[in-house]
Amino acid sequence: MASAQTPEEQRAADGGDAPPALTRLEIQRYSRQLVLPELGPGGQRRLSACSVLVVGCGGLGCPLAQYLAAAGVGRLGLVDHDVVELSNLHRQVLHRESRLATSKARSAAAALQELNSTVQCVPYEVHLSPSNALPLVRAYDLVADCSDNVPTRYLVNDACVLAGKPLVSASALRLEGQLAVYHFQGGPCYRCLFPKPPPPETVTNCADGGVLGVVPGIMGSLQALEVLKMASGIGTGLSRAMLLFDALEGRFRRIQLRSRDPACAVCGDHPSVTDLQDYERFCGSSATDKCRMLQLLSSEERISVEEYKKVLDSQDQHVLVDVRPSVEVEICCLPHSLNVPLSKLEGKDEECWKTLRQRICNVKQRTDDNMAFPVYVVCKLGNDSQKAVRVLQGWSHDGLGLISVKDIKGGLMAWASNIDPEFPQY
C-alpha cells in the first residue's frame, strides 16, 4: 500500500489550482515566518490551502490547534465529544473557566476564531467511531491524533491508512512524552510498530497516572511543528523516527524506526484490515482518556461504598488498606485507613507486609468472632484495589487465622460521589 502524499502532492495529483497570492493583511500577520527561506510566500500559501483534522481538543490538541491557527492553516476540524471540566484547565489552554460544561470542540473553535478569524474552524461534537472516522479523515489533508487513548489511536491510524492520509501522533503522561509521524514517505504506520494492543490493565492515562500540564503543551507544540512542516512543503524528519521527551531530565531522545512492514495488517502488501473495526473490543478497553474501570474480581469479592458505609456505622472491627501511592494519600484519605502502596505489596516489601500483619493482629484481638476477619482494600477508582486483593489472596496468613479480603467498588471517588460530597475528588 502506498504511503500518504503531502497536501501539495495530493492537490497536484487532483489538478488543483495554485493558491491565490497573499493579501496585504496576510503579509503583515505572517511576516515573521514569511521571511524564513525554508517557508517563504509559497509555503505560506500552501498552509492557507491546507486542512488539518485535530482528533481531541485536550492537553495535546489545544496547543497544537492554537499554533496551527496562528500560523494560518486554512481549515481546522476539531473532534471532541467531551465537555470542559475544571480538572482540564491546568493543561488544556484554549478553554476557560467561563466555558466550563461547554463542548470542548466548540470552546476550542471559539478561542481559535478570536486568535485568527481567517482560519475556518469546524467543531465536531462527536465521539470518533468506526462509523464516522473515514468520512472525516477523507475530508482533510493531514490528521493529528491528540486523543491519547489506545482504541482511538488504532482507529485513527487505520482510517488514515485506508484514506491515504499522513498522521502526526503524540502522547504525554506524567513527565514524559513521545511524538511520531505515521504512514508518510515510506515510513511505518502505528500498526507496523504495535500490531497488538497492550493488555488493558497495563495501560495508564493522565487521569490515572497524572501529568504536568506543560508536558502535553510541549508535545502538542512539537506536533504542530511537524504538521506545519508537512503542510508547507518543508517535510518532516520523523517519518521513520520517534521523538521521546523526558521533562525531569530536560532531555530529548530520537529513536530510529523501521520502514513500513510489508506484513502489516492494514498498510502491508496483503492487508487483512480493509474496513474499520470495533476498536474497543480489539483493545479490551474503552475509547476514553478518562479514568477506566477494570473488572478483575467477581461480585462476591467486592463491596459497594454504601455497603462499606454500613460497616463503619455498625462499628464492626475490620482493617481498611489504602493501596494508592503515598503522594495520593497526602491529597486525601479516609482517616482510619492504613496506606500500603500496591507497588510495595506486589514487590513483597518486607516492612509493608510486617506493618499490615501487625495492624490486622492488633484489630483482630478486639474480636471474639470465629468468622473470617474482614480486610477491605480501597484505591482511587477500584482498579488497583482489585489487583491488591489478588495479591493478598495469595498471601500466607500464618498466625492470623481466617482472613476475608474484598475491594471497595469505585474507590474513593465513588465514596465522594455517593457518600461524602465534601471528600475531595482529583
**Annotated binding residue at 192?**
yes
59 is in an annotated binding site: yes
Residue 131, marked binder: no
Annotated binding residue 264: yes
DSSP H or E stretch at residue 32:
helix 31-34
- Cell representation of residue 323: 493501596
Q: How far apart are CA 157 and CA 87, in angstroms?
A: 28
- 14 assigned ligand-binding residue: no
Residues facing 253 on adjacent strands: 244
- In degrees and rounded to multiples of 5, residue 244 shows phi and psi of -110, 140
Using CA atoms, how far apart are residues 192 and 195, in angstroms rounded to an integer? 6
Catalytically active residues, by annotation: 206, 379
Total residues belonging to the chain:
426
> Annotation-wise, does 90 bind a ligand?
yes
Q: Is 80 annotated as a binding residue?
A: yes
- Structure letter (DSSP) for residue 174: B
Nearest one of 297, 381, 387, 308 to 340, comparing CA atoms: 387
| Residue 189 counted as an annotated binding residue | yes
Which 8-state DSSP code applies to residue 5? P
Q: Give the single-character DSSP code of 6.
A: P
Which 3-state string (H, E, C) describes 305-342? HHHHHHHHHHCCCCEEEECCCHHHHHHCCCCCCEECCH
104 marked as part of a ligand binding site: yes
Match 512543503 to its residue by C-alpha cell.
233
Q: Is 267 annotated as a binding residue?
A: yes
51 labelled binding-site residue: no
Closest alpha carbon to 237 in 179, 303, 283: 179
> Is 409 labelled a binding residue?
no
- Binding-site residues for ATP sit at 59, 80, 87-91, 104, 148-149
Please give the annotated binding residues, written as ranges.
Answer: 59, 80, 87-91, 104, 148-149, 189, 192, 264, 267
- Binding positions for Zn(2+) are 189, 192, 264, 267
